[in-house]
Amino acid sequence: MKNQNRLLWEKGDFTEIAALMRKSGEEFVASLEIKSPLRVLDLGCGDGTTAIPLARAGAEVLGIDIAENLVAAGNRRAAHEGLLRLKFQQGDACDLRDVEDGYFDLTISMFGAMFAPKPFDVAKEMVRVTKPRGRIVMGNWIPNDPTSFVSQLLRISASFTPPPPEGFISPMTWGVADNVAEYFSRTGVPREKISMIKDVYEFIALDKNPENLIESLIRFYGPTMSAFEAAEKNGNEEELRRQLIELAYAQNKNTAVGVSIPATFLRVTIDL
């Protein structure tokens, strides 16, 4: 049986949302100052928002994602661009059983591994597959951050869904510095090797207004789709839609045409 996390991310078509994040993905990769040859693991990679620019920069890249539809989309993008040193495969961030110890110079995860259900296992696996003196970089949404569109989107969506099952660990715990330090300290990484700063990702689309952006999220983004389904059962779908549209208008910085919505996140860097 497929696990619930996989069902969530295969539910819609995240490629439609990832298309709004391409520019920020390229800017993030540029900030890493990649020097090839370099082996990179992109964990929770989607269809390649960061994996594609990493490969363009000359790195050998393996993208792993829980959703088979996103893996297939990523491989199509890689083939289209002729990126022969980039491969996507299906896998679980909690159990990278097909990846050997210490293989990668750099392991990154932008808003991907944070959604896996076992954060301590995720941290352990990321450290295990990264070389000694290698680097781990994560981007994690910060809970309840008023400057983060995605954090507020997830907060509103959660208010329309049933309570999570007992033992559930919210993915938003990855956006709290003390939690990140605890997850990695269990793997033996000392606190002084972990640095954390706030950074910004942008959702950019010149062909959408804020209302159309929300409709895309309702149609294609797993967490929003689930929230909308739950709201429909209670007759609250129009209230959920209203709150999300209000959020998009409030955070849109491009009032002339299209959308440009910044989303603050916690950027975690670990030097092993």
- The 3-state secondary structure of 120-155 reads HHHHHHHHHHEEEEEEEEEEEECCCCCCEHHHHHHH
Does the pLDDT of residue 3 top 90, yes or no? Answer: no
Backbone angles phi, psi at 207, to 5 degrees: -100, 15
The radius of gyration of the chain from alpha carbons, rounded to an integer in Å, stands at: 18
Q: Provide CATH code, domain 4-143+167-204+262-271.
A: 3.40.50.150
* Per-residue pLDDT reduced to its tens digit, 102-155: 999 999 999 999 999 999 999 999 999 999 999 999 999 999 999 999 999 999
pLDDT of residue 2: 54
Segment 221-270, tens digit of pLDDT: 999 999 999 999 999 999 999 999 999 999 999 877 789 999 999 999 99
Residue 206 has pLDDT above 90, yes or no: no
* pLDDT at residue 11, rounded to an integer: 87
**Predicted local distance difference test score (pLDDT) of residue 164:** 87
pLDDT for res 1: 45
Least reliable range by pLDDT among 2-6, 84-88, 94-98, 140-144: 2-6
Instruction: Give mean pLDDT, residues 22-31.
Output: 96
Q: What is the pLDDT of residue 7?
A: 87
Which two three-digit tokens encode residue 82?
């002729």
Q: What angle do CA 100, 39, 58 make, to 5 degrees?
A: 155
pLDDT, averaged across the chain: 94
Residue 179 has pLDDT above 80, yes or no: yes
Relative to beta strand 259-271, strand 130-141 is: antiparallel
Which residues are registered as beta bridge partners of 269? 137, 195
* Domain locations in the chain as residue ranges: 4-143+167-204+262-271
Neighbours of 47 (CB within 10 A): 25
